């Protein structure tokens, strides 16, 4: 399973140290998500758009991802214009949409898209394994990162198991439909997948024991900051200050 | 079942992170290495099963199964659910990083409660496994949807209609998840009953 769609590339952002990217990412998303000033959010969205451009990420796939982000927004666009009172904008029968009620979902939609663009262009341009490596160097609790490492390592394996079982279902002429039969098949499917996961976890644990595992992996490779990382840190800090002062 | 970025106020986000960190920390603290590996593997299976879509009329819904995962992982369910949500946020932009704490809480707290309530029932077999499974699946999604709606309301009173709509949209999922959890548990009970005794 190829999951890290945006991590492959040769752009400037792909080459940066993942620690630097993580440290730049966190303040930006919290600043954007918590802002209530439309100009600040627009500036942040502009910065995110530029970052995604530098990472050369624009592709049909990226727009497909952004579409998913905006699905939840439909709930807000349907309800908020009518539940916030204010200056009336237009009437639809007994319902009145207010101007304040339209700016609110607009603000949230812009924020969500900006954060999604930050996500694909900063942590998204590193592989998950190098990000978990970076998390250890940034002193994240070792235990949870180790669990995350195993989790990510075995998604591919369990995903293969899943694909094989689906093929088997298709070979037997299974078609998903709105029926009790479909639910039954998928329930047994899920049960089997979890049984296989348990059995694999037992084998993996025995293999780990044999190799003297103590609950964490030692860090062998270390990151070294290069000139490009320092320049990026300087520029992104300037950007951050400008946006936060707006 | 995710709240996306930019909706909730700082207090809710911070509260979600604090509560989830406590849940993850307490769960992992006393776990053996064997249980950690098992948690990670169940979390991978949880992530993979979220790709299963069940058609409901013209549309389809994807399985959540947080109650099922809660039953199987027990105390470490906060970690199992949290890391799966983290990966979904980073890779697919479902939910988000600022909302990771609250989303984890909304899904893992019901899972943990289901573990506390239904695990003894499952061991004693005082009611049939199918019934335990159905209630476990139903209650976990019901509570998650409820918590999700309540967290939306913390963003302001104007979010009440949206919260109601989100809760209503999750009703079919409660039933489907109930059925799937029921039959999956029955299957495991037949094929590998020792798995249900943690």
Q: For B116-132, how does the pLDDT look when each residue is reduced to its tens digit (9 = 90+)?
A: 999 999 888 888 999 99
Count the Cβ atoms, other than its own, within 10 Å of residue A72: 20
- A111 with B6: Cβ contact below 8 A: yes
Q: Which of B12, B48, B79, B58 is nearest to A33 (CA)?
A: B12
**Per-position b or e across A147-164, b if 16+ CB within 10 A of its CB:** bbbbbbbbbebbbebbee
* pLDDT at B77 exceeding the cut of 70: yes
Q: Does B58 touch chain A (CB under 8 A)?
A: no
Cα separation, A193 vs A213, in Å, equals: 26
B interface mutation test: which of A28, A76, A100, A164 has the most B CBs within 10 A? A76
Show which of residues 34-73 on chain A sit within 8 Å of chain B, judged by CB atoms: 34, 65-66, 68-69, 72-73
Complex ipTM: 0.94
- The SS3 assignment for A100 reads helix
Can you give the residue ranges of every domain in chain A?
Answer: 12-126+224-245, 134-210
- Cα–Cα distances (Å) from A213 to A131, A218, B32, B65, in that order, read 22, 10, 12, 31
Burial zone of B92 (CB within 10 Å; 0-12 exposed, 13-18 middle, 19+ buried):
middle
Of A79, A158, A197, the CB nearest to B162: A79
Can you give the residue ranges of every domain in chain B?
Answer: 10-196
Q: Does A4 touch chain B (CB under 8 A)?
A: yes
- Taking only the tens place, the pLDDT of each residue in B29-55 is 989 999 999 999 999 999 999 999 888
Say what the pLDDT of residue A222 is.
Answer: 81
- Taking only the tens place, the pLDDT of each residue in A118-151 is 999 999 899 888 898 899 888 888 899 999 999 9
Query: What is this structure's pTM?
Result: 0.92
Contacts of A84 in chain B (CB under 8 A): 158
Say what the pLDDT of residue B107 is.
Answer: 95
Q: Does A151 touch chain B (CB under 8 A)?
A: yes
- B75 contact partners, CB below 8 Å, separation of at least 6: B26, B27, B30, B31, B112, B115
The structure tokens 């195993």 sit at A150
- A112 with B6: Cβ contact below 8 A: yes
H runs (alpha helix) in A172-226: 180-210
Say what the pLDDT of residue A5 is.
Answer: 80
Say what the pLDDT of residue B5 is.
Answer: 85
What region, left, alpha or beta, does residue A213 occupy, with left being phi > 0 and alpha being psi -120 to 50 degrees? beta
- B160 with A83: Cβ contact below 8 A: yes
Say what the pLDDT of residue A2 is.
Answer: 66
Q: Which residue of A has its CA nearest to B179?
A: A183
Rg of chain B on CA atoms, in Å: 16
pLDDT grade, residue B185 (50/70/90)? very high
H runs (alpha helix) in B125-170: 129-153, 160-169
- A194 with B45: Cβ contact below 8 A: yes
Say what the pLDDT of residue B1 is.
Answer: 63
**Mean pLDDT across B86-96:** 87
How many interchain CB pairs under 8 A, A with B?
230
Q: What is the mean pLDDT of chain A?
A: 89
Token representation of residue A23: 């440290």
- Residue numbers of chain A with a pLDDT score lower than 50: none
Say what the pLDDT of residue B94 is.
Answer: 83
Fold of B10-196: Arp2/3 complex 21 kDa subunit ARPC3 (1.10.1760)
Say what the pLDDT of residue A8 is.
Answer: 84
Say what the pLDDT of residue A76 is.
Answer: 82
């Amino acid at each position: 399973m190829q999951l890290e769609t945006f991590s492959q590339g040769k752009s400037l952002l792909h080459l940066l140290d993942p620690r630097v990217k993580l440290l730049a990412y966190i303040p930006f998303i919290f600043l954007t998500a918590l802002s209530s000033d439309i100009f600040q959010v627009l500036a942040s969205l502009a910065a995110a758009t530029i970052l995604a451009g530098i990472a050369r990420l624009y592709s049909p796939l990226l727009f497909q991802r952004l579409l998913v982000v905006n699905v939840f927004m439909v709930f807000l666009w349907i309800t908020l214009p009518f539940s916030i009172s204010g200056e009336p904008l237009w009437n639809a029968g007994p319902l009145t949409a207010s101007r304040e009620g339209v700016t609110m979902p607009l603000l949230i939609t812009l924020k969500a898209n900006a954060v999604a663009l930050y996500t694909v262009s900063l942590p998204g341009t590193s592989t998950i394994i190098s990000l978990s490596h970076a998390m250890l160097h940034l002193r994240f609790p070792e235990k949870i990162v180790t669990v995350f490492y195993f989790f990510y390592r075995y998604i591919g394996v369990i995903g293969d198991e899943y694909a094989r079982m689906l093929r088997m279902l298709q070979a037997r002429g299974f078609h998903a439909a709105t029926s009790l039969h479909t639910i039954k098949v998928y329930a047994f499917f899920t049960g089997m997948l979890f049984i296989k996961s348990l059995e694999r976890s037992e084998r993996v644990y025995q293999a780990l024991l044999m190799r003297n595992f103590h609950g964490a992996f030692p860090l062998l490779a270390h990151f070294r900051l290069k000139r490009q990382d320092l320049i990026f840190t300087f520029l992104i800090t300037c950007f951050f200050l400008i946006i936060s002062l707006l | 079942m995710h709240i996306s970025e930019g909706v909730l106020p700082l207090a809710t986000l911070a509260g979600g992170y604090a509560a989830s960190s406590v849940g993850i920390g307490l769960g992992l603290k006393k776990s053996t290495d064997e249980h950690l590996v098992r948690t990670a593997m169940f979390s991978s299976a949880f992530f993979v099963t979220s790709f299963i879509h069940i058609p409901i009329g013209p549309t389809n819904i994807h399985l959540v199964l947080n109650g099922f995962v809660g039953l199987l992982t027990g105390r470490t369910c906060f970690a199992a659910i949290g890391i799966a949500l983290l990966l979904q946020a980073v890779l697919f932009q479902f939910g988000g990083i600022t909302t990771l704490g609250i989303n984890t809480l909304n899904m893992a707290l019901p899972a943990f409660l289901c573990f506390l309530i239904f695990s003894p029932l499952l061991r004693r077999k005082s009611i049939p496994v199918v019934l335990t499974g159905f209630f476990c699946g139903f209650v976990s999604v019901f509570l998650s949807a409820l918590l999700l709606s309540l967290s939306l309301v913390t963003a302001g009173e104007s979010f009440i209609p949206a919260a109601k709509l989100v809760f209503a949209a999750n009703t079919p999922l409660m039933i489907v998840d109930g059925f799937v959890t029921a039959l999956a548990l029955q299957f495991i009970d037949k094929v590998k009953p020792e798995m249900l005794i943690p």
